Amino acid sequence: MPRAMSRTACRTCGQQVSTNGLAKASHARKHVREGLLVEIESNYWADGQMQHSRLFVAPTTARRYLDNEPGVGWRVIAGTPAPASKEN
């Protein structure tokens, strides 16, 4: 009897993807290669321990993280964030 596998719809393309963390990350990296997503990460201290966050976000969202998060050092791992807005 086959086992039921948990699947969820990708927010970028709608394809059904396994909920396994490695499968989700691999699928998201495909979108990074296509230019649809940007992979960013941050290391920060919380509760006396170093915490690590890695996100797959749209290029415009990546730009907001990079520009508007004081005290949290976000950096781009892969992909290209949207260009910075030109303020007058």
Rounded Cα gap, residues 30 and 6, in angstroms: 20
pLDDT at residue 88, rounded to an integer: 47
With 70 as the cut, is the pLDDT of residue 69 above it? no
3-class secondary structure for 2-70? Answer: CCCCCEEECCCCCCEEECCHHHHHHHHHHHHHHCCCEEEEEEEEECCEEEEEEEEECHHHHHHHHHHCC
Structure pTM?
Answer: 0.75
- pLDDT category of residue 46 using cuts at 50, 70 and 90: confident
Region 69-87 average pLDDT: 77
The answer to whether 50 and 35 have CB atoms below 8 angstroms apart is no
